[in-house]
Chains A and B, each alone.
Chain A
Amino acid sequence: MKKFFALSAVLWLFTACSADSSSDSASGPSTGQGGSLARFTIANDHLFAVNDNSLNVFDISNPANAIYLSKHSLFTTVETIFARDSNTIFIGSTSGMFIYDVSNAPNVERLSSYQHVVACDPVVANEDYAYVTLRSEQNSNFCWRSVNQLDIIDIRDLRNPQLVSSFPMVNPRGLGIYGDTLLVCDNGLKVLDVSDPLSLELLDVDEDFDAFDLIPYGDLIIAVSEDGLSQYRFRNGKLNLLSKL
């Protein structure tokens, strides 16, 4: 048994250096990809599940066996979790965004938090920026007295996130980032050029599909609404509808 642990530790060190993404690679799927409203995500050999006000960590180095390792209280209502890379997760809560270093899971280190008014907010991020939608929801006890907007936060220093800009939204839900393009579910599916975080440009919008979340997979956009699924090919700033389900 000791040998097994030593071996897994060595393997872990190797994989920790080589792993770079939570989504799958060209060599075939190892882990999948959820939308921005997901509460489960996988980074390295750990499954992270947020709910209520906790972050739960499971060891899945043997994928058939999820070993419950730890529970971290976040003292706020947690909504979503996003693994930007194998070391860094972003948590969207009703009171703000948290950035965690999970490279030493089950020990997790909170690098920073970005606080805002009470709202419901999924978050996605790339190397430089995090994108958070804040939404007021009439029929919820959790998301009240707030605003509808998109915040762009400079995260080049993960320990010191800085608000760069805010843009008014109608009723924003899930979102996804694809290069310099941000897709936002906001009374339809909106495509925004975010190459300049101070000045967004609306490239396209599908107003007929009231999406609440999406998965960008290369230039394929998979979006879901309360009553359907739409898939688009994204080319030259435009959404080309492929199918509806």
Chain B
Amino acid sequence: MNYRTIPVLLSFLLLGSCYPQDWDYYYPDSAYKPILMERSQLESSVKLIDPQSINNFGKIYRYGDILFINEKYEGIHIIDNADPVNPVNIGFITIPGNIDIAMKDGYIYADNAVDLIVISYDGQNVQVVDRNRDIFPELPSPDGYSSSDLDNRPENTIIVKWKEE
């Protein structure tokens, strides 16, 4: 070590003192735990199933007389809203890691965790017709934590939700 490196080291120490807590320390503070899914499973899990009870109301989107309600991280409820006095829950599209959608000409654009997918929906069937992989960063926890240094993380896995511990 020579004298020139001392100011450099000193500045690191000073900078370091601005960030007294690193992620290893922070991470256990999150009230949430990440749920991982293998990519192959993620890509084969978009399906239209029977109506589900709505437990965790997320964002809403209207397309004509159809109303979509996001079930946070799980997918979208399909509501027939032709009569707003009597909205009818008619189905559910499972989309792991989903938060947002938009729709055009019968096609739904959705975040499927880190991917952006295009789903054709004609009222009867759904089909994933396009997939842009790894567009979005991994889902952060609801209390603002990231997963960047998860230990012993299995390969080819993606965070699809955060669960309260």
Chain A positions near chain B (C-beta within 8 angstroms): 24, 28-35, 37-42, 47, 49, 51-52, 56, 58, 60, 63-66, 68, 139-142, 213, 215, 217, 220, 222, 224-229, 231, 233, 242-243, 245
Are B59 and A34 in contact (CB-based, < 8 A)? yes
Chain A to chain B contacts (Cβ below 8 Å), 11 pairs = A31-B103, A32-B64, A32-B102, A40-B111, A47-B102, A56-B116, A58-B132, A220-B84, A222-B81, A242-B85, A243-B87
Are A58 and B116 in contact (CB-based, < 8 A)? yes
Residues of B within 8 A of A139 (CB): 143
Residues of B within 8 A of A242 (CB): 84-85
Residues of B within 8 A of A47 (CB): 102, 104, 109
Q: In the complex, given contacts A33-B62, A245-B54, what are 11 additional A-B residue pairs having Cβ atoms less than 8 angstroms apart?
A: A24-B63, A29-B63, A34-B59, A38-B102, A40-B101, A58-B132, A63-B105, A139-B143, A220-B84, A222-B84, A229-B67
Number of residues on chain B facing chain A (CB within 8 A): 41
Residues of B within 8 A of A39 (CB): 99-100
Q: Does B60 contact A (CB under 8 A)?
A: yes
> Given A24-B64, A139-B143, A217-B62, does the pair A226, B109 have CB atoms closer than 8 Å?
no
10 tightest CB-CB pairs across the interface, nearest first? A141-B144, A32-B63, A29-B64, A40-B102, A63-B107, A32-B103, A63-B105, A231-B84, A31-B104, A40-B100
Which residues of chain B from 39 to 84 have any CB-CB distance to chain A below 8 Å in the complex? 54, 56-57, 59-64, 67, 69, 79, 81, 84
CB distance from A57 to the nearest CB of B (A): 11
Q: Does B129 contact A (CB under 8 A)?
A: yes
> Given A30-B104, A58-B132, A63-B104, does the pair A243, B86 have CB atoms closer than 8 Å?
yes
Question: Which chain A residue lies CB-closest to B120?
Answer: A64
Cα-based distance from A66 to B135 in the complex (angstroms): 12
Which residues of chain B from 84 to 102 have any CB-CB distance to chain A below 8 Å in the complex? 84-87, 89, 99-102
Question: Which chain B residue lies CB-closest to A23?
Answer: B62
Residues of B within 8 A of A31 (CB): 63, 102-105
Q: Does B38 contact A (CB under 8 A)?
A: no
Residues of B within 8 A of A243 (CB): 84-87
Residues of A within 8 A of B145 (CB): 141
User: Contact string, B127-165, partner A, CB cutoff 8 A, digits 1/0?
Assistant: 001101001110000011100000000000000000000
